[in-house]
Amino acid sequence: MEKNDNDGRFPDDSRVEVRYPRTRQEEQGDRSKWPWLPGTIEQQCGPDEWQVCVMDKSVAVLRDGRRAPRNTASRNLYYPLCCRDSSEIRRGTRRSCWRSMITRPGTGFTCAPPTRPDRPSPP
């Protein structure tokens, strides 16, 4: 799909919640039990598939792909991108989930390439 081809169900740049595992144990477990984490739609990449940046500090990494220590400055964090269908995305509903959200690109927020949560590849 072209960058501007979005059917509108989850518009580009919209805030959502997305199923994403925080640990290797969660990743290997039941996908329907993965937690809902805050994210932002980057683009629609198929008829029922969107690329989402998972914007939760618990899954952020450093530039070299290592897990980020707890007090790492936001400007040094990289957030994972993932592709999800509509069953694993929902509109952001809980205000509290947005407390961990960082500003949009260009103001200190960086998405890393799609990765596995336990072994992210460097950007």
pLDDT digits (tens, 9 = 90+) for 22-77: 999 999 999 999 999 999 999 999 999 999 999 999 999 999 999 899 899 988 99
Which of the four pLDDT bands, split at 50, 70 and 90, describes residue 81? very high
Domain limits for position 33? 15-111
Decide: 47 and 10 in contact? Cβ < 8 Å: no
Structural domains of the chain, count = 1
User: Is pLDDT larger for residue 80 or for residue 107?
Assistant: 80
This prediction has a pTM of 0.75
Residue 121 pLDDT > 90: no
Percent residues over pLDDT 90 in the chain: 64
Instruction: Answer whether residue 1 is part of any domain.
Output: no
Task: Using CB atoms within 10 Å of the CB of residue 33, give its burial: 0 to 12 exposed, 13 to 18 middle, 19+ buried.
Answer: exposed
Residue 122, domain member (yes or no): no
